[in-house]
Structure formats: C-alpha cells, structure tokens
Structure 1
C-alpha cells in the first residue's frame, strides 16, 4: 500500500505531519488529484483542531486529516472517466471518510493526494445518485468539488471556495439594492461577504470588528460605507439608533445573533454564517427582537453555483484572489500557520502542500 503525507489532528489541540496516510486509489469513475495548495479556514479548521466542531457538522474521529479548501491537478483517471482529463484543475479535493490506516478525514485537503469523480459519466451510465462517491445527504456542501479553468492561479484558488461561499451567502440572505446590511466580523469571510454585498448593490454596508487593521481592509478592498471599531465602542453606541434589513454574524456566536437582531428593521433577518462552537449551540430565542427572522447559514449553500460567476469576476479583474489571503506557509510549518491565525496576524493563510 502506497502512503502519503498530510496534516493530521490527533486529538484536540494536537496537530502534526504524518507520512503513513494511505494514498487514495481512484475507482472506475474517479480521478486522482495531486494537491498543490490548501486554504486554512480560520473558522472550521480551528474548530476541528480545538475539538469544538460537532460530529453533526462533519468532524471525523481523531486522528483526522485536515483541510477542505484544497486546489490541485489531475494526474490519473479511472477507466470509465470521460469528462475529466489529466492536467485538469480542481478545488475541494476529497478523501473517503474512512481514509484507512486508522485515519478519518475532516476533510482531508492538506494531504498529498485526493479524489474527484465523474458524476456526469455515472449519470450517463445509469448509476443512481445515492451511490455517487463523496455525496453525503447530511452534509451535501462537503460532498462536492469544483473544476476551475487552468488560467486561475492554484495558489489563489486556495481561497476560491471561501470566496464563492461569501458570494452565495450574500445572495442567500437576499442582498440587493434595497437592503442595508450590518456585518459582524472583518476576517476573510466577513471581508468577502462585505465585498459581494457591495457588488450586489446593497444600499449600505457596515462592518464591525475588534481589529482596526481588518477594518482598514474592509474600507480599502470592500469599500464599505462604515466600519465600527468594537474595541473602542459598542455596536449600539456606534449605530446611534440606525436599523438594518440584514445582520450577518460571521464570527459564530449566539450572543452576536441576539445582539444583532436588535438592530433590525421590522421583518428583517439576522443570519448565522459563522460556524457555531459545540459548546454554543443554544440561545433564548425569546430574546430575539420581535418581528424578525433568524436564518441559519452555518454551512455553505450553493457555493458551487457561485464559483463560475466568481471565476468570471476574477478574469475581468473585478475581484482579486490575493485580496483574500495574506500569507503562504509550507505545510511542514503548519503550526506557524495556526499561530498566525490565532494571533490574528494573518487575514487568511494558504498552505503550500506540494511544489
């Protein structure tokens, strides 16, 4: 059995590089992908490392192979593959849940190799969709992958899945030219959501965060209408009675959802987009403002539909992938990447998996 390297979380708080992970073998309808880069997710990956992600949200048993924002190149195809060729570029490359050798994957993108599947050929050959590999009816957002054009930089593609999640989220909550939007959090996802809210023509976009440097990026890159430095003033003080159609929590705290609802217009919606911790899954819904709606969007939805649109925005020069990450770190230095994120010294880190 061939083996490969990967970033493994062996227990809460314990991360290492292992070289005895079974290398995946592609089936008849599958293609083997050599992973080049993988974005480090400031929310999900830290929750996996800290043990604060729930099994319902996809956490595999430890030891588990980390990473879901991978990009890479197809190097081998199965004998029944007809719509994938060697040299194609993909993002969100998969491993099977039981990786072998005692490992699981959550979600395995920081390993040397992964798999994608030719669903189109499987449909043509009459294979029922419930037999498709990597599709999980409980977590359909993590059972997919995306083919990208070869002119899209693979390093930057480590941020492309997050960018597409941001665009899809802005659309899912109904952002348009009639809406005023308040966003809690100016990390990579908050920055992205703000940028796409502006691109969709939102009437006003306000972003709050504790980090002044990130707020400067929100002004420079997303061109938001107002920022709130929450290290100096509360949101209530800064807004001075202003109300919004949409409030989005990108941080992932039920306390923000309750607070944010207080700044909604009648029948407005507060959106939970940040990943909630396993010890913060309940709240007193009676404390939500009357005549408002709570929209759960902790897990991505329709991000692959948004990916093609994002690619065209990138090609047209309207969006730059490099605006969404600040550091590139070799996989062998995974602890450096974790520390940069924890200290909030990095906007987003791209892990260089292979040359």
Structure 2
C-alpha cells in the first residue's frame, strides 16, 4: 500500500464489509489526526447499518468509514488546538455536535439539534480505518492506566450505561437486575459491581454471554428469559423485587420484566434501542410508585468522570472483549458480532490486537 494511503471499512448494508484504500486525511482548524489503536463494534451498527441501512436522521448512515467506538493516539495537529497535542492518547466521543445549541452546551452532543450534527462512523468517517480526523472538542483523555481497548469500550457502551446508572443511582443499598447481557448489559453489571451493588442479577439467553458473566464474576444469579423471571427475582430478593433495574435487551418482554421485577418505589432505566414494550401502568408502575427513565448515550463531561473512576476502581472494560480482529478481517468481526455468540468484538491495531 502507498504510504500516503490507508485502509478503511464501509458497510454496504447487506451483511458484508467493504475494504477500500483512502488518502490519509489532513487535519483542519481545531482538528487532529488520530492513529487508530482499537475500534469496537456496537450493537447499533448491526441493527441499523450492517444488515441493512434502516436509520433516518441521527441514525442515518451516509456510506462513510464505519466505526463509532474508536480510541487512538494523536499523530498530527491542525492549527488552533487548545488542549490536546501530538502524542496524546484519546477516546473519541462519537457524536460531533455543533457546539453552540443548548444540548451541546450541556455536553450532550448526542442530542444536538443542529443539522451540522454528525456522528463518527455514521455521517462522518469513523474508526474502522488506520487513521481518522477528529475535532478536538470531541476528545477525552485516555490515562496511561487504561489500554486503548479500554478506551474504545468507553467511547460508547460503557459511557452509555454509566449515564443510565447515574440517572437511577446505584449503591450498596441496592439489588440490581440487568435484562440482556450483551456488551452493554455486561458493562452495566461491571459498573454496578464497582459501585457496590448488594446483589446482581442478570437475564440472558445466549450461552456465551451467560458464561462470560459467570467467568468474570459479574452476576450472583443469571436466569434465562421466561415467564417465571419476575417470580425468580422476587424469590431471591425477599419477595420484594430489586431496587434498580436496567433493560439492555430492547425486547418487549424484557422491558416488561424489568418493570415488574422492581420493588415499590424502585427505578428502572431503558437503555436498549428499538423494539416496543407492553405493560399495565396502574398495577405495574403507578400503584407501586415506580419511575422509568429513558437514557441515550451520555455527555462528554460525564465520560471524563467515568474514565477517572475506572482508574480509581481498577476495572478494565476490555475484559468484556472476547474477540479481536485485524482490520483486514473486519468482515469476520462484524459477522461474529451479528451472531451474538460473543462478548464485545474489537478491530484492533498494533499491540491492542494481542
């Protein structure tokens, strides 16, 4: 390959990956050139882009280089930088907002209302390439204590679930239920455990993910989805149900279970994207004074807080990565992630491939 060229992956939308050569880009004002070290694959990539292009608006894929969970090192500087410099290790907050709307000024670029909003890997080139251009304002410092694979996990999945946990609050007072132990659900268990949750319960059908939760010691109990799930949860919580529940399954039954398995005055967060839910408001929620929260990604300032706490807690998100592939085998990486028979899947470079 020409030294001025790089390899990048796009998603045609028919469950395949297209690898192409691109010119290595040059950073403009307020931008940096990042050498990608690790980019993990998100479930939303599979749901909205890999199998078919179904998204509109913020979820509309525009045939750019894929990958919205990137982490790497700055190797080139554009003019006008204020904080970051060549050599810095960085996580990329994956939505680049306008910076001046009300949501952006709160740090929630995910909710940017401007037509200039562009997500990496969706509307602008992302991390499934050897190099990528990033706006300085979208970067989070990666401490030396964390690997690039840790950082890639923070870029979306861990940041997303940390936001939900912060909304409902989790402490040693709480028994916690997580429905759906895909990468986000497993991340939820890992963070709730670090926060001292009293008892951790999972619901999952995929044997590989159940085994991973047990191997890493993330759950005290794991049940397979079924009609008895609410009863099972109540039996191990003194008949009350849990104080906090998270649905990461995006399934109708899973969401209803999260609501019904929560005790009086409990709090439930919906994190999984898509799908529907059917429940009876009066007996399932109103009469027991429960609160349901919707949570979508996180803010960049809270992502910085999370990175600091990961170091403090001495936990590593990369522990959830069960498979790593080189960019040349990105097709295998996406196919495996789409199968669900895995934890997190990463496309990695250099030492992060090991």
Distance 1:93 1:3 in 2: 25
1:92 aligns with 2:92: yes
Corresponding residue to 2:337 among 341, 344, 351: 341
Post-superposition Cα deviations, 1:113-139, rounded to whole Å, max 9, x if no partner, equal 2223344xxxxxxxxxxxxxxxxxxxx
Q: For residue 315 of structure 2, what is the aligned residue in structure 1? A: 319
Distance 1:37 1:350 in 2: 7
Q: 5+ unaligned residues in a row in structure 2: which ranges? A: 97-114
Shift of 1:286: 4.4
Q: Using a 3 Å threshold, how does the CA distance of structure 1 residues 346 and 7 change in structure 2: closer, same or farther?
A: same
Q: For residue 199 of structure 1, what is the aligned residue in structure 2? A: 194
Q: Using a 3 Å threshold, how does the CA distance of structure 1 residues 336 and 118 change in structure 2: closer, same or farther?
A: closer
Q: For residue 39 of structure 1, what is the aligned residue in structure 2? A: 40
Q: 5+ unaligned residues in a row in structure 1: which ranges? A: 120-143
1:105 aligns with 2:123: yes
Shift of 1:151: 5.0
**TM-score calculated relative to the size of structure 2:** 0.77
> In 1, are the aligned partners of 2:248 and 2:272 still within 8 Å (CA)?
yes
> In 2, are the aligned partners of 1:164 and 1:310 still within 8 Å (CA)?
no
Q: For residue 270 of structure 2, what is the aligned residue in structure 1? A: 272
Q: For residue 305 of structure 1, what is the aligned residue in structure 2? A: 302
> In 1, are the aligned partners of 2:5 and 2:21 still within 8 Å (CA)?
yes
Q: For residue 16 of structure 1, what is the aligned residue in structure 2? A: 18
Q: For residue 251 of structure 1, what is the aligned residue in structure 2? A: 249
> In 1, are the aligned partners of 2:206 and 2:341 still within 8 Å (CA)?
no
Task: Look up the SS of the partner of 2:285 in the other structure.
Answer: coil
Post-superposition Cα deviations, 1:22-61, rounded to whole Å, max 9, x if no partner, equal 64432222111121220111x1111121237532443223
Post-superposition Cα deviations, 1:178-199, rounded to whole Å, max 9, x if no partner, equal 2221111222221211121122
Post-superposition Cα deviations, 1:154-181, rounded to whole Å, max 9, x if no partner, equal 2443223333333333222211222221
> In 1, are the aligned partners of 2:208 and 2:342 still within 8 Å (CA)?
no
> In 1, are the aligned partners of 2:16 and 2:331 still within 8 Å (CA)?
no
1:159 aligns with 2:153: yes
**TM-score calculated relative to the size of structure 1:** 0.77
Shift of 1:283: 4.2
Distance 1:285 1:295 in 2: 15
Provide the alpha-carbon RMSD of the alignment. Answer: 3.1
Q: For residue 133 of structure 1, what is the aligned residue in structure 2? A: none
Q: For residue 206 of structure 2, what is the aligned residue in structure 1? A: 211
- Number of positions where the alignment pairs a residue of Structure 1 with one of Structure 2: 316
Q: For residue 172 of structure 1, what is the aligned residue in structure 2? A: 167
Q: Using a 3 Å threshold, how does the CA distance of structure 1 residues 269 and 94 change in structure 2: closer, same or farther?
A: closer
